[in-house]
Amino acid sequence: MQPIIFTDSAAKQLDAFIAATPHDRLFILCDENTVRLCLAKLSNYQTFKLITIPSGDTNKTLQSLTHVWQQLQQGGATRHSLLVNLGGGMVTDLGGFAASTFKRGITFVNIPTTLLAMVDASVGGKTGINFGGLKNEVGVFSNAQQVIIDTQFLSTLDHDNLLSGYAEMIKHALISYYNEWAELLNYTPDNRNLAPLAPMLKKNIQVKERVVEADPHEQRLRKALNLGHTVGHALESFAMTTGRPVLHGYAVAWGIVCELYLSAIKTGFPTTPLHQTASYIRNHYGQPAIECKHYDQLLELMTHDKKNTGSDINFTLLADIGSLRLNQTATRDEIFEALDFLREGC
């Protein structure tokens, strides 16, 4: 497991890590947004090389990965160099993959700057890029030497990006405890008042830590973290094809609605929390821009999901909050019903 450090000063924590970690060269990877909004919050290192990539998940590509490799190579990186990934999930995913493959692996640290990255992308050792129009199609499991969580970075986020991360928090609560789920549905993320979020965030990250520690390579229990993602990734990939990409957390939120509906009709998930969760998501995340004519394309995208076995589309479903039903399947008609429920509301 990679150590996760909660701090109110990412700069001091990173300074201590750098001082204690032998390295010959220091590189910091940012996207265009984190260069502008977050880099100044770290110490003013005199000898680091900055690597910048374009912002947005549509840039989590082989082209961006190649650029990072080239910058490491041109900057004289060796197997003893250190890469700091400062940014959202796109940066930590791509940067972790770049570090894990360059020279067959150099040391890297993740400093997530978005709520989504804090609660999801930077925790658990998954790295990768999008490829062939599919989310996270190529990557490796590789742990950062340290993950530094500092909620001061959340003040740089707009409301949509806070909501994007919050969807993953709702997912973690659904697979764990009723009280945490109820607490989350009674709060709306607000960058003007982040104080209530910090303690919920720490508990939420610990849910994922427990799951990942028990199943680091997604052989069984870790599949719980895929709730909402089979449909969610299809919606996200579909949006990319239309030229109107959506934030990952929004797609996951819509996927949660669909997969809770499947849970209700297939594994007995109670209708009250189904409708409460669906109402919260509908009120805060709206609805995806899909119509019935898109269902077959969405189904085709689901067939490419990495969790599938053979020709079956696999889902993580729930019998109740915290009661997992892994490796579930659904028929074409049941999936289309779930998409109808998403579009038509509660």
Cβ atoms of 148 and 205 within 8 Å: the answer is: no
Residues 6+ apart with CB under 8 A from 318: 174, 175, 227, 260, 263, 267, 269, 324, 325
Q: What share of the chain is helix, strand, coil (3-state, %, to 5)?
A: 55, 15, 30
- DSSP secondary-structure letter at 192? T
- DSSP secondary-structure letter at 314? P
Residues 6+ apart with CB under 8 A from 88: 31, 33, 34, 112, 113, 114, 116, 117, 121, 161
pLDDT in tens, the chain (346 residues): 688 999 999 999 999 999 999 999 999 999 999 999 999 999 888 789 999 999 988 899 999 999 999 999 999 999 999 999 999 999 999 999 999 999 999 999 999 999 999 998 767 888 999 999 887 899 999 999 999 999 989 998 999 999 999 999 999 999 999 999 999 999 988 877 888 898 899 999 988 888 888 777 666 788 889 999 999 999 999 998 898 989 999 999 999 999 999 999 999 999 999 999 999 999 999 999 999 999 999 999 999 876 777 678 999 999 999 999 999 999 999 999 999 999 986 4
Sketch out the chain's domains with CATH numbers. 4-156 (3.40.50.1970), 160-344 (1.20.1090.10)
* pLDDT the model gives residue 122: 67
Cβ atoms of 83 and 106 within 8 Å: the answer is: yes
DSSP characters over 256-304: HHHHHHHHHHHS---HHHHHHHHHHHHHHH---S--GGGHHHHHHHHTT
Cβ atoms of 231 and 338 within 8 Å: the answer is: yes
> Diameter of the chain by CA atoms?
60
Quote the CA–CA distance of 151 and 111 in Å, as a whole number: 11
* pLDDT the model gives residue 194: 84
Q: Is 92 exposed, middle or buried (0-12, 13-18, 19+ CB in 10 A)?
A: buried
Quote the CA–CA distance of 22 and 85 in Å, as a whole number: 18
Which one, of 125, 49, 124, lies nearest residue 82 by Cα?
49
End-to-end CA distance of the chain: 40
Can you name the residues that pair with 82 across neighbouring β-strands? 26, 107
